[in-house]
Amino acid sequence: MTTVASPCFSFLIKILLYVSLLCLLCVVHGADEITVPVSSLFPSPNCKASTSNVNSTVKLVHKHGPCSPLFQGEPVNHTQLLLEDIARVEWIESKYSGADATNSPKDSAVSLEAKYSPNAAGYFVTIGVGTPKQDLTLLFDTGSALTWTQCKPCAESCSEPIFDPSRSSSYANISFSDPSCLLLRSGTGHKPLPSGSTCSYRATYLSGAYSEGFFATETLTLSPIDAITRFKFGCGQKSEKIKGFAGLLGLARDEISLFGQSATKYGRSFSYCLPPSLSSTGYLTLGTGSRTSASVSFTPLITIPRRPLFYGIKITGISVGGKQLDIEETVFSTANTVIDSGATFTRLPTKAYDALRSAFRQGMLKYKMSDPTPTLDTCYDLRGSTSITIPRIRFSFSGSVEVDLDPRGVLFGTNEKMCLAFAPSHPNTDLSIYGNVQQRTFEVVYDVAGGRIGFRAKGCS
């Protein structure tokens, strides 16, 4: 006797088989692990434009990648990048501790092993300055307030490209008696200086790099249909150790920054997406961007003591491979965390970093370890491997926000030495830094008016 299954029963069998297949896949590529081709972790020699920046206004590129105007066809110098990151972190720590120089860089009493210059910031944007606009490549920096560029006539040590104010009909110097001249104190850490009747600025860095010149107003062009008139910026007449780029675009939490000056037009908000690799492009958007999207998870914006220019967030926990790390609550509750566009790797309190490292190493036992670098101590030799399975790393932030890092936000290096992209904070500081590697592929939304910072996964790819 032949039994014919009913249509409902056949449908149920198909559902059970589908669920079983999903469960099998979960075991192999489950929520606790991620398997990716090793090649996907490395930049390619060619620039790949993002396809996700539909609402963007400014393209964002890494200075060491093939999309950069500085790219010479050479492979990324990872040693140089590591040294630049050390310098950036020490600069942030010195600002946080109040040890940064407030006098001439030549008279600075600050002495650190690595000296930060603006060259160490990681990402470039190209914007137009003047009328008609002159396109200039500026370093994108959420940790600095004043936007400045090298200008003609250059009195000392300037390098191309240089903005020529004599070719612009919208350029105007700001007088020393203008109230806006006083904004320079909070934005640069230096008192404004008179140059005749003109207000002058000075921006200095621990390396001895500096930019000095006139404080002026100009038209800033972000896109063919989007410009900011009477934008206050530094027009540098003297500089030192500034090479390969025109200046700096400041987005710090200050009235003199691009964020502060565009508040009326863009509502005190901006967002950016750092690309998945050095060979891809990301974007910077002024205004709401995706801040109202349901796919953005927001955590409260924290004010960093002694350094209100920085953007702060609060880490509440970390999980590795689906398991919450056993970290005392006080480790994070007593630490201040800066989210920064210029620091490459995330710095964590020692106890938190040790727990993360231990759990990650446990999940990577099948891979051969390699010698550490001066910054990164958990490295692997992936030569001969076509794919890699890594434990998923999840960060928890205040406000019940959970962020699953992209694999390209976990590992850094080459197939000869691929390292866990985290490091411990300096033992004498209570400051953590959420670096740009961990921000890769996310749209990071700075809704300062709403007192929050948001993360949207797969913001650029």
Whether the predicted pLDDT of 293 surpasses 80: no
Q: Residue 363: what pLDDT?
A: 96
Per-residue pLDDT tens over the stretch 17-52:
443 433 333 333 457 999 999 988 888 888 887 766
Tell me the helices (H) and strands (E) count for the chain, helix number first: 8, 31
pTM check: above 0.95: no
One domain, residues 215 and 75: yes
Per-residue pLDDT tens over the stretch 202-224:
988 766 678 899 999 999 998 88
Spatial separation of the C-alpha atoms in residues 13 and 394, rounded to whole Å? 36
One domain, residues 329 and 274: no
One domain, residues 393 and 416: yes
Q: Within a domain: residue 16?
A: no
One domain, residues 296 and 417: yes
Whether the predicted pLDDT of 453 surpasses 70: yes
Token pair 């990577």 is found at 364
Nearest Cα neighbor of 62 from 342, 346, 286 is: 342
Nearest Cα neighbor of 233 from 180, 296, 277 is: 180
Whether the predicted pLDDT of 174 surpasses 80: yes
One domain, residues 231 and 345: no
pLDDT-wise least confident of 67-76, 188-197, 446-455: 67-76
In which band, very low, low, confident or very high, does the pLDDT at 121 lie, cut at 50, 70 and 90? low
| Mean pLDDT over the full length of the chain | 84
Whether the predicted pLDDT of 119 surpasses 60: no
Q: Which residue has the higher pLDDT, 136 or 242?
A: 136
SS3 content of the chain, % helix, strand, coil (to 5): 20, 35, 45
- Which H or E run includes 183? helix 183-188
Per-residue pLDDT tens over the stretch 325-381:
999 989 999 889 999 999 999 999 999 999 999 999 999 999 999 999 989 999 999
Whether the predicted pLDDT of 160 surpasses 60: yes
Whether the predicted pLDDT of 243 surpasses 60: yes
One domain, residues 302 and 435: yes
Token pair 């370093």 is found at 139
Q: Within a domain: residue 221?
A: yes
Spatial separation of the C-alpha atoms in residues 299 and 314, rounded to whole Å? 8
In which band, very low, low, confident or very high, does the pLDDT at 289 lie, cut at 50, 70 and 90? low
For residue 403, the SS3 value is strand
One domain, residues 156 and 242: yes
Measured from the Cβ of residue 173, the count of other Cβ atoms closer than 10 Å reads: 18
CATH of the domain at 379: 2.40.70.10
Largest alpha-carbon pair distance within the chain?
107
Say if residues 313 and 142 touch (Cβ distance below 8 Å): no
In which band, very low, low, confident or very high, does the pLDDT at 159 lie, cut at 50, 70 and 90? low
One domain, residues 376 and 431: yes
Tell me what the mean pLDDT of segment 426-439 comes to. Answer: 92
Q: Within a domain: residue 1?
A: no
Q: How many domains does the chain have?
A: 2
- The residues that are catalytic are 141, 340
Structural domain containing residue 344? 290-456
One domain, residues 132 and 239: yes
Token pair 């621990």 is found at 206
Contacts with 196 (C-beta within 8 Å, 6 or more apart), sequence order:
none
Tokens encoding 179: 């109230």
One domain, residues 240 and 304: no
Q: Within a domain: residue 13?
A: no
Of 261, 283, 305, the residue at which a domain comes to its end is 283
